[in-house]
Structure 1
Amino acid sequence: MKIETSSRLHLSLIDLNGSEGRVDGGIGITLKNPSLIMTCDETSSETKISYDDKLNFNTHVNDCNNKILDACTRMNEYLSVNKSYTFNIEQIYSVHQGLGLGTQLALSTARLIANLNDIELSTYELAEIVQRGGTSGIGVHSFDKGGLIIDGGHKRSVKKDFLPSSASKVSPPPLLARYDFPEEWNIILATPNTIQGASGDKEVNIFQEYTPIDMRDVEKISYLTLMKLMPAVIEKDIVSFGEAVNQIQQLGFKKIERNLQSNQINEIIGYMADNGIPAVGMSSFGPTCFGITDTNVKNMKKDLLDLMGDKSTVWITKGKNQGSIIRK
């Protein structure tokens, strides 16, 4: 059994104030690349995880293994079985880079095990079992449907603390809106090797220290999302889309995420903006930066690699308008 799923951009959380009864909410885009491809077979011995020899990726293998094993354990407990599996990773990208690999690993593992056991479960049910989507629902809904995703966050009565997804065990948020992302638009991703995104205790501490955010920022993000970003995607208006993204990146918790990163992030984003890319920013806690445009961006790849240094990564991709694909 084989599954293929994709990375995602997380443009911003919407509401880390919570005074109106909900928290979180997310804005994100499913990407065609980089992607995750993994296989799974049931075995009689202990569960094993292997990686294709041809892979050349810069990630934390132990972190990836732990996410797979944790999801495997939770699925076995849900199914009331004690089965072992062999997982092989054919294609992968880096964890803790702002591209959402953790959620895709957990959901892919869950989907493969469910199918091998002839159990039909929705993506939402799988996410509840493996405890993903506790803050942002972008990864969960991207896995399910792809496209541009807006999720509705969580009831304050259910989620009482401001926490990242890794530390939040509530159910995934509802999907508010999903649109096809324009096929004509190109996306360039730049990930410097010298910087790590926040994760674990560090990420929890940041959430606790810098929240709640000002309600005026929540209102502005909400307005820009509803009345500028979403219509721009439907009308394929890259200028308005860029204006909305660029303003959102300077508000609320996204502003905090940006301010806590190295100045190199601003240099990368500044280079993209100076070269005419309408929508620029940092995904999630970074360090991956993105640029979205309706023009060709291939000529920027070398300059970005020179700017970021050795072992950094540049991807040129597009939005993906479908969810994960599973094959027998």
Structure 2
Amino acid sequence: MNGRIITSSRLHLTLIDLNGERGRLDGGVGITLKNPNLIIKAKPNGEFKTEFEEKNLEENLIREYSAKIEEAAKRTLSYLKSIERFDFIIEKTFPAHSGLGSGTQVSLAIAKLITGFHGTEMDSWELARIVGRGGTSGIGVASFEYGGFIVDGGHSKKEKTDFLPSSASRASPPPVIARYDFPEDWNIIVAVPRIDRQVSGRKEVNIFQEYCPIPLEEVERLSHIILMKMMPSVLEEDIESFGEAINEIQRIGFKRVERKLQHPIIDKIIDNMLSTGAVGAGMSSFGPAVYGITDTNPKDVLKAAKEAMGDVGGLALITNARNSGAKYE
């Protein structure tokens, strides 16, 4: 029996606490997206082949996905003590190392397909522990499970003692402290310029070590904005306040550091989105994905983003929030 799973990308709006004085590290805020998404099929009794149905995919994307799939499959099968072999067919992808969370979604999708075939019921946090995801941010894991607008509570310093990105952290996925439906009539414009990600791997670890701890007053200000502006604006569907919160968090905390280290085209795209009428715009995770929010003129904002990307090109689309988790069938 073949299995198939559809799971979504996500925006990571900000990390919350990279100071740690209150006894916890990380914390995060994010939104699950309808598009771009990921569709994978698994066929048992296979030979561990990975096939891609989309045409003209870049070689580095194929390598990234293939490596993640192989690692997640081996970890899951080892956990299950299974010798079953699978083939995986990737019907649809979205860019890797782009700030949209492909690594977590691919890994969890493979774990879900394999455990589903074995008749083993596990929630996304259990799957994440098996495949080693969620060591800094819990947004991708919660997006896979629930969808929607998510705030996670970070890690106790009893478990995680240092400032590290997810790629270098072995901590368990953090708890979700708030999850709301995100207004589906708010348009989200996503643009991923075709540039090399400025920060990844060892360089990303070094940045966490160099710039952390973030001053406590910045963490407290950011927490105030999230708790008393951003979260209520989602519940009250106040897009103007939500946009203001997005714009404020670009200038404080670790997001300020992330933005400072980016290619100049990131600022250009965000500025174009705002000047064309987006109520808020920012960078997802360490980029290069950026996003704008509007409920009035999404096509204009999309056009502005494409113009800012210019000859660099890249992915650009209008989407909405997805208020449900991955679909397994």
TM-score by length of 1: 0.96
CA contact (8 A) 2:270 2:305 kept: no
Q: Which of 306-315 and 202-211 deviates more?
A: 306-315
Amino acid at match of 2:317: W
Deviation at 1:231, TM superposition (A): 0.3
Distance 2:166 2:19 in 1: 17
**Structure 1 residue 187 corresponds to structure 2 residue 188:** yes
Q: Which of 69-78 and 302-311 deviates more?
A: 302-311
Distance change (3 Å), C-alpha of 1:284 and 1:118:
same
Distance 2:206 2:45 in 1: 40
Amino acid at match of 1:103: T
Per the alignment, residue 129 of structure 2 pairs with 128
Aligned-partner SS, 2:135: coil
CA contact (8 A) 2:107 2:131 kept: yes
Distance 2:246 2:305 in 1: 21
Per the alignment, residue 230 of structure 1 pairs with 231
**Structure 1 residue 40 corresponds to structure 2 residue 42:** yes
Map 1:3-14 to 2 at 5 A: 3-14=5-16
Deviation at 1:303, TM superposition (A): 3.7
Deviation at 1:302, TM superposition (A): 3.5
Deviation at 1:82, TM superposition (A): 2.0
- Residues 207-263 of structure 1, C-alpha deviation per residue, up to 9 Å, x if partnerless? 111111110111011111111000000000011111111111111110000000012
Distance 1:133 1:12 in 2: 15
- Residues 14-43 of structure 1, C-alpha deviation per residue, up to 9 Å, x if partnerless? 000001100000000000000000000112
Distance 1:248 1:20 in 2: 20
Deviation at 1:277, TM superposition (A): 0.7
- Residues 142-169 of structure 1, C-alpha deviation per residue, up to 9 Å, x if partnerless? 0000000000000011101110111111
Aligned-partner SS, 1:177: strand
Distance 2:263 2:92 in 1: 29
- Residues 270-307 of structure 1, C-alpha deviation per residue, up to 9 Å, x if partnerless? 11111121111000000111001111311333342232
**Structure 1 residue 114 corresponds to structure 2 residue 131:** no
Amino acid at match of 1:249: Q
Map 1:45-84 to 2 at 5 A: 46-54=47-55, 56=57, 60-84=61-85
Q: Which of 46-55 and 256-265 deviates more?
A: 46-55
- In the alignment, structure 1 segments of 5+ residues that lack a partner are none
Per the alignment, residue 30 of structure 1 pairs with 32
Q: CA RMSD in A?
A: 1.3
CA contact (8 A) 2:230 2:245 kept: yes
CA contact (8 A) 2:195 2:288 kept: no
Amino acid at match of 2:143: S
Per the alignment, residue 278 of structure 1 pairs with 279
Per the alignment, residue 206 of structure 1 pairs with 207
Per the alignment, residue 324 of structure 1 pairs with 326
Distance 2:6 2:98 in 1: 19
Distance change (3 Å), C-alpha of 1:58 and 1:282:
farther
Distance change (3 Å), C-alpha of 1:55 and 1:7:
farther
Aligned length: 326
Per the alignment, residue 246 of structure 2 pairs with 245
CA contact (8 A) 1:42 1:85 kept: yes
Aligned-partner SS, 2:33: strand
Distance 2:115 2:154 in 1: 27
CA contact (8 A) 1:55 1:91 kept: no
CA contact (8 A) 1:11 1:284 kept: yes
Deviation at 1:58, TM superposition (A): 8.1
Deviation at 1:311, TM superposition (A): 3.5
Distance 1:189 1:248 in 2: 18
Query: Which of these residues, 1, 4, 22, is aligned with residue 2 of structure 1?
Result: 4
Amino acid at match of 2:241: S
Amino acid at match of 1:245: I
Deviation at 1:191, TM superposition (A): 1.1
Q: Which of 53-62 and 242-251 deviates more?
A: 53-62
Aligned-partner SS, 1:9: strand
CA contact (8 A) 1:195 1:262 kept: no
- Residues 169-228 of structure 1, C-alpha deviation per residue, up to 9 Å, x if partnerless? 111000000000001100001111124252211211111111111101110111111110
TM-score by length of 2: 0.96
